[in-house]
């Protein structure tokens, strides 16, 4: 909900106070959320997202999810854990790395 409040200001110029009042949310809650430190899970997710972007960009945009996953596994020391929101089911992972090396 706080993301929606922020987006209203950014995209439509609606002040936070107006959006909070319309949604029956206190402004203090919104500002507390906005100024909070990222959670440990959020930090890990951001690090993983950045690594995925680096791998994909380094491939010239040619790697699909199976190859990116294999490279993530190598980077993480053999076990990459991808978030469910953007993760791939284990059944979709290839049994062998495209280069011929075992996964």
Residues 58-103: tens digit of each pLDDT: 999 899 889 998 888 888 776 545 444 445 555 555 555 555 555 4
Which is more confident, 57 or 88? 57
> Under a CB-based contact definition with an 8 Å cutoff, are residues 14 and 38 in contact?
no
Residue 53: its pLDDT value, please? 92
pLDDT value at residue 24: 92
Q: Per-residue DSSP letters for 36-90?
A: PPPPHHHHHHHHHHHHHHHHHHHTTS---HHHHHHHHHHHTTS-----TTT---G
Tell me what pLDDT residue 83 has.
Answer: 46
Q: Is the dihedral of CA 53, 39, 75, 102 positive or negative?
A: negative
| pLDDT at residue 103, as a whole number | 47
Residue 87's pLDDT is 53
**Predicted TM-score (pTM) of this structure:** 0.48
pLDDT of residue 90: 54
| Average per-residue pLDDT for the chain | 79
99 HSE (CA, 13 A, CB side): 7
């Amino acid at each position: 909900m706080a993301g929606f409040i922020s987006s209203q200001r950014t995209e439509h110029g609606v002040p936070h106070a107006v959006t909070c009042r319309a949604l029956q949310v206190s402004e203090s809650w919104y500002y507390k959320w906005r100024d909070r430190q990222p959670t440990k899970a959020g930090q890990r997710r951001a690090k993983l997202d950045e690594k995925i972007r680096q791998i994909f960009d380094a491939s010239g945009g040619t790697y699909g999810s199976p190859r990116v996953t294999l490279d993530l596994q190598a980077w993480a020391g053999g076990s990459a854990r991808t978030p469910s929101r953007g993760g791939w089911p284990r059944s979709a992972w290839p049994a062998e790395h495209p280069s011929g090396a075992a996964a």
